[in-house]
Amino acid sequence: MLSCNSAQLANDRDLMIETALVLGGSSEIAQAILLELKPQGLKRAVLAVRSPQEIEPLLDSLLPGLDLAVCTWDATDASGSAQMVADAGEILGRIDLVVCAVGMLGHHAGR
C-alpha cells in the first residue's frame, strides 16, 4: 500500500508524511512501517507505548535518522488517550499519520 501512493506523495508537498503518531510504537510491525516511510519523507514520530522506560534507551538504534519521542499510552485504558494525542500533537506540531500497531492476544496465545 505504501508504494502505491509514493509517486503521488512525491509530487504533492502538502501530502508528504513528515510526522507520525504510532500507537503500539514498540512493536516490530510499527518499526517496519516507519522504516518504509522514512525514505518517503518521514522525519519525526511519537511512539505511544505502555512502558516508555523500556524503549527510550533504544531510540537511537531502533530507527536511525528519525527524530523520535515517546509518550505513555496503554491501549486497555481509554482514559489516557486524549492526553496522549495532545502530548503527541504538542511534540510534533501536526500529525500527518496515525499508525495503529496494537494487537491484543487472547488468553490462549502462546499455548
pLDDT tens string 63-94: 888 999 999 999 999 999 999 999 999 999 99
Instruction: Count Cβ atoms within 10 A of the Cβ of residue 22 and give its class: 0-12 exposed, 13-18 middle, 19 or more buried.
Output: buried
Residue 4 has pLDDT above 90, yes or no: no
pLDDT tens string 13-33: 567 899 999 999 999 999 999
* Euclidean distance between CA atoms 97 and 15, whole angstroms: 10
pLDDT tens string 36-71: 999 999 999 999 999 999 888 888 888 888 999 999
What is this structure's pTM? 0.79
